[in-house]
Each structure stands twice: as structure tokens, then as C-alpha cells.
Amino acid sequence: MEIADGKIKAIEKFSFFTDHGIDCTDKYLLPGIISVHSHLSVVYPFSATDESENSAQSVLRALSRARDALMAGVTTVRSVHEINMADIHLRHASETGLVEIPRIFGAGRALSTTGGHGKGAGCVYVDGYDEFFQAATAEIEKGADHIKVFISGGIADAHESLEGAQMSMDEMKGVVDAVNAKGKYVVAHAANSESISLAVDAGFRSFEHAYFLDEETAGKMKDNNVFLTPTLCVTRSPEWMADHSFTKEQIDKAMEIGPTHLKSIRNAIKAGVTIVAGTDYPPGEAIEDTFVAAKEMEFLVDAGASPLQALQAGTVTSAKLLRAEDSIGKLEVGMIADVIACRKDPTSDLSAIRNIDLVIQAGKIIRNSISKKDF
């Protein structure tokens, strides 16, 4: 591969690697991982979140997670709610060369109904068409690339119901009208078929979790070309949760939903819904013998995706969701040179992505554990 000005200039030549003494001849090169459901500034346990926290604290916490992600091989993240708009501040810092982190597509703060799923997390709290419209417009004007909302309850709160919708059709339309006016899109935390069906009708484009998804709604998602981020990690990682101060009640609730969640994602994959990979947990953190973003792709295979589909969910398909498929997510001439290397062919054995030996972002070597050689 030849790389110039941060982009791929030629595929068949290995000059970039040989120039740096990196022997890639027995390696498998992939595009850098794109993880599309991140909360870089999240506090564990959630109950320790201070909604009046100084934004410098939020940004520093987010920076540490962002660094971990990049080192792991995640070269792009989509954030879907950050307290104090930590993602937007971080993105600015990286654009000005201050910090080396994944490319960020940011939501800023999520919008939540009063008392809804986002309560206590530093969201913007609004009700009714007008308030949702105005709040979405304001986040976009402050730099958000998309708007995150909660259309149902979730598993983080052990006592919250996962049934029904937390936003009215009118409120959903308020957000959709605001994003359409600015050329952006809505991403929804969504637990169940009922709320997803409503939001598809309202014009939402991106859905997260889908713990309870029936075949009919999966078919509707497919017919409307929306994206689904399963975040399977959150219902099958009890040890990780225990290590991060989740309560026994929260862990029990997550594990109880686990089998239904997997079945729901099977429904989605079978129906042909476009699946993208995102973790909810910081994507670069260690989990079992690997890191969270790699583990999520393995979970997608458990739900019926092929290894290739899972890899695409974490690269080229996610790039489409971000409307960035012309610049990232593929190894092709003219694309930004985000490259990772592993030792085996991950399309035949996905566990190959557990061990990434080389991370390059926009043509810059971020990490290399392949021993140096003279060419």
C-alpha cells in the first residue's frame, strides 16, 4: 500500500510499510474499525454522574476513553450523548492537532423527555413538538452531526419499564423536522417494536439496542432502509459490568434480557436490516481476551451475521450510516488511510481481530507491534 497525504494512493505496492520497516507480507490489512455507539464521557456507576460537572472534567474523561479506542484500532467513533458536549470539544481539539484520537461524529447532548430514560445523565430535557424542535436545532448549531433521543426506557435503570414509547409522535416529528432542515438525522435509543415502529413512521434513520424486536417490525425497518446498532455487549457482559460498578440488580436485568435481545437481533439480520457495530461501553476497553469493539463483532456472529458481515458492520456499513463512505470504511485508492493489521484472515475466523498488531490513522502510525525489519 502506498500512502500519501493521509490517503491511500495505491494498493498493490507496500512502499509505505517497507519505508517504515514494517513487514506486512503475512498480515491481513483491514480498514480501521468504526464504532457507532459510544459514550466517551460516561461515568460508572451512572448514579455518580454530576449534571453540573465542570466541562473540563467531562472532556478529560472522554479523552482517556478516546485514546484507548484509537490504540485498540478504532479509528472513528460516533458518539451518542456526551455530558457537556464533550465529544464536540474533543473533536475540535483533534481538528486543531491538539490530541490524537479517533475521528468523531458527535451528537453533543441527547434530548430526553422530562423524567425519560436520559434523566440524570446531563441530557437536554424537553417536552412537546416545539421544545424538541428548538433543542435539536440548538445542538446542531453547536456542532452536533446527528441528534440522539430516547424513545423508550432502557436496562441501565433496573426499575424502568422497557415497554411502550417515551416520546409522542408529535415530539418525534419535532426532532425530525429540525434535523431535516439542517441535513442531519436522528438516532434513537429504542428498546421495543412499538416505539421503533412509531419512529420509523416519523422518519428516524438510526436505531440502537432493539432488545425486543418482532419479525414484523424488523421487516418494516428493512423496508424503510434504517440502520440498527444492536449493542449486544450490554446484555452479555456480566463480568465487565461488575468491574464497572453496575449493581447486581442492573446486571440481573441485563442478563435476563440477553436471550430475547439475541433473538431480536436474529430477527433483524434474517429480515435483512442494515446492521452496524457499536458497543455502548467504551470501545477500546479490555473485555475477556480482547477489546470491546472486537467483542461486539463476535456477538453479531452469534446473532447470525457472517464474519464478513460483522466486519462490514464495524467498517464500511458504519461509514454509510455516517454518510462518510466516500472517505472511510474501505481500503481503496483515494480513501483516508485508516488501516489495521491482524495475523489471520478475519473473514474466515473473526477471532483474528482480537489481536491487532498495527494501527494507522490517516496515514500516521499510531501503534505498531510488528517487529522492525530492514528492506
167, 171, 150, 290: which is closest to 233 by C-alpha? 290
Dihedral sign of CA atoms 120, 123, 128, 130 in order:
positive
DSSP-assigned states of every residue in 175-234: HHHHHHHHT--EEEEEEEHHHHHHHHHHT--EEEEEEE--HHHHHHHHHTT-EEE--GGG
Smallest separation (angstroms) from Zn ion to the CB of 154: 8
Interface map 274-293 toward Zn ion (x if CB under 5 A) = ------x-------------
Quick check: helix, strand or coil at residue 22?
Answer: strand
Considering beta carbons, is residue 43 or 366 the nearer one to Zn ion?
A: 43
Q: Which residues contact 34 (CB under 8 A, 6 or more apart)?
A: 74, 75, 76, 77, 78, 277, 314, 315, 318, 319, 322, 328, 329
Smallest separation (angstroms) from Zn ion to the CB of 360: 28
Gap between the Cα atoms of 103 and 181, Å rounded:
25
Interface map 299-338 toward Zn ion (x if CB under 5 A) = ----------------------------------------
Considering beta carbons, is residue 40 or 70 the nearer one to Zn ion?
A: 40
Quick check: helix, strand or coil at residue 365?
Answer: strand
Considering beta carbons, is residue 280 or 357 the nearer one to Zn ion?
A: 280
Whether residue 312 contacts residue 264, with contact meaning beta carbons closer than 8 Å, is answered with: no
Gap between the Cα atoms of 263 and 268, Å rounded:
9
Considering beta carbons, is residue 82 or 280 the nearer one to Zn ion?
A: 280
Quick check: helix, strand or coil at residue 95?
Answer: helix
Dihedral sign of CA atoms 140, 282, 299, 161 in order:
negative
Gap between the Cα atoms of 240 and 367, Å rounded:
25
Smallest separation (angstroms) from Zn ion to the CB of 372: 40
Find the binding residues for Zn ion in span 70-109 (CB under 5 A). Answer: none
Considering beta carbons, is residue 76 or 229 the nearer one to Zn ion?
A: 229
Interface map 199-218 toward Zn ion (x if CB under 5 A) = --------------------
The two most distant CA atoms of the chain are separated, in Å, by 65
Considering beta carbons, is residue 87 or 280 the nearer one to Zn ion?
A: 280
Find the binding residues for Zn ion in span 222-281 (CB under 5 A). Answer: 280
Smallest separation (angstroms) from Zn ion to the CB of 80: 6
In terms of Cβ atoms closer than 10 Å to its own Cβ (0-12, 13-18, 19+), residue 370 is middle
Smallest separation (angstroms) from Zn ion to the CB of 255: 18
Smallest separation (angstroms) from Zn ion to the CB of 257: 15
Find the binding residues for Zn ion in span 35-74 (CB under 5 A). Answer: none
How far CA 356 is from CA of 226, 346, 360, in Å, comes to 31, 11, 11
Smallest separation (angstroms) from Zn ion to the CB of 208: 6
Smallest separation (angstroms) from Zn ion to the CB of 37: 6
Smallest separation (angstroms) from Zn ion to the CB of 341: 30
Considering beta carbons, is residue 77 or 362 the nearer one to Zn ion?
A: 77
All cell numbers assigned to 300: 453479531
Determine the size of the site formed for Zn ion (CB under 5 A): 1
Interface map 153-192 toward Zn ion (x if CB under 5 A) = ----------------------------------------
Considering beta carbons, is residue 180 or 245 the nearer one to Zn ion?
A: 245
Which residue, judged by CB position, is nearest to Zn ion in the bound state?
280
Considering beta carbons, is residue 41 or 197 the nearer one to Zn ion?
A: 41
Q: Which residues make up the interface to Zn ion (CB under 5 A)?
A: 280
